[in-house]
């Protein structure tokens, strides 16, 4: 995207975001946009309200969402203390990159980025601080987190099965009459083959291949 078009799009999206997040500011730099200030959340979970403000600094690049924003919590409010989803340099880790890129591909919306990933991130942090657990489960880091994503994509429980199916997506062959590795007892062609083919032929195949290489430590 041309930088001028990018700045125009970001300005329009930020104006809409600013309606619900009035304490944020937008700054245009030479090759990126920066959204910073106080980010307010108010989430209801099982009748209980969780609300707070967090100081953030977010760098957004013209090829968003192919390059995801870099977002930091700069106020020092988010502390690890068993909450492992913030790096030492204060960069947040809200979700596996592949999930965010896939979910944001159609809308290419900064508003969606904040609503789908950043608000739930801060809500999860507040919930964790109070109850020392996560409201909807926790995404692991590294390879385990990536495999957890593919367990969801393939609708399987075992990470070893997800890894095998991802291997098929990335080019390994299996004959259709063989038993599907998901242990359903069905033949592969009557089970996960269509899902594997869908992913193999999708626009995100490079993401899947990168994930598999990361899992394998290549």
Same domain membership, residue 185 and residue 78: no
Same domain membership, residue 123 and residue 190: no
Q: What is the pTM of this model?
A: 0.92
* CB contact set of 113 (below 8 Å; sequence gap of 6+): 64, 65, 69, 100, 104
Same domain membership, residue 154 and residue 115: no
pLDDT at 81: 81
Enclosing domain of residue 157: 142-216
- 3-class SS at 178? coil
Domain count for the chain, please give it. 2
- 3-class SS at 165? helix
At which residue do the structure tokens 């959340």 appear?
41
Same domain membership, residue 177 and residue 123: no
Q: Which of 42, 62, 69 is CA-nearest to residue 54?
A: 42
Same domain membership, residue 121 and residue 85: yes
Pull the structure tokens for residue 131: 């109850």
Same domain membership, residue 8 and residue 102: yes
In CATH, what number is assigned to the domain containing residue 127? 3.10.110
Residue 136 lies in a domain: no
Looking only at Cα atoms, what is the longest distance across the chain? 59
Domain end marker among 107, 131, 155: 131
Per-residue model confidence as pLDDT tens for the chain (218 residues): 688 999 999 999 999 999 999 999 999 999 999 999 999 999 999 999 999 999 999 999 999 999 999 999 999 999 888 888 999 999 999 999 999 999 999 999 999 999 999 999 999 999 999 999 999 888 888 899 999 999 999 999 999 999 999 999 998 888 889 999 999 999 999 999 999 999 999 999 999 999 999 998 75
Cα–Cα distance measured from residue 65 to residue 106, given in angstroms and rounded to the nearest whole number: 10
């Amino acid at each position: 995207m041309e930088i001028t078009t990018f700045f125009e799009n970001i300005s329009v999206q930020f104006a809409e975001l600013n309606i619900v997040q009035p304490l944020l500011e937008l700054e245009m730099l030479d090759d990126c946009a920066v959204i910073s200030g106080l980010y307010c959340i108010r989430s209801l979970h099982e009748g209980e309200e969780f609300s707070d403000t967090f100081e953030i600094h977010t760098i957004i690049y013209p090829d968003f969402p192919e390059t995801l924003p870099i977002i930091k919590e700069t106020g020092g409010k988010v502390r690890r203390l068993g909450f492992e989803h913030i790096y030492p340099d204060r960069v947040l880790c809200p979700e596996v990159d592949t999930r965010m890129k896939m979910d944001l591909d159609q809308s290419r919306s900064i508003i969606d980025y904040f609503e789908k990933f950043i608000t739930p991130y801060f809500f999860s942090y507040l919930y964790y601080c109070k109850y020392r657990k996560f409201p909807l489960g926790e995404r692991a880091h590294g390879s385990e987190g990536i495999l957890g994503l593919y367990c969801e994509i393939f609708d399987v429980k075992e990470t070893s099965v997800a890894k095998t199916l991802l291997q098929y997506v990335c080019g390994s062959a299996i004959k259709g009459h063989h038993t599907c590795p998901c242990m359903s007892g069905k033949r592969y062609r009557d089970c996960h083959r269509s899902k594997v083919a869908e992913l193999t032929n999708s626009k995100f195949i490079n993401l899947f291949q990168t994930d598999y290489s990361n899992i394998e430590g290549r």
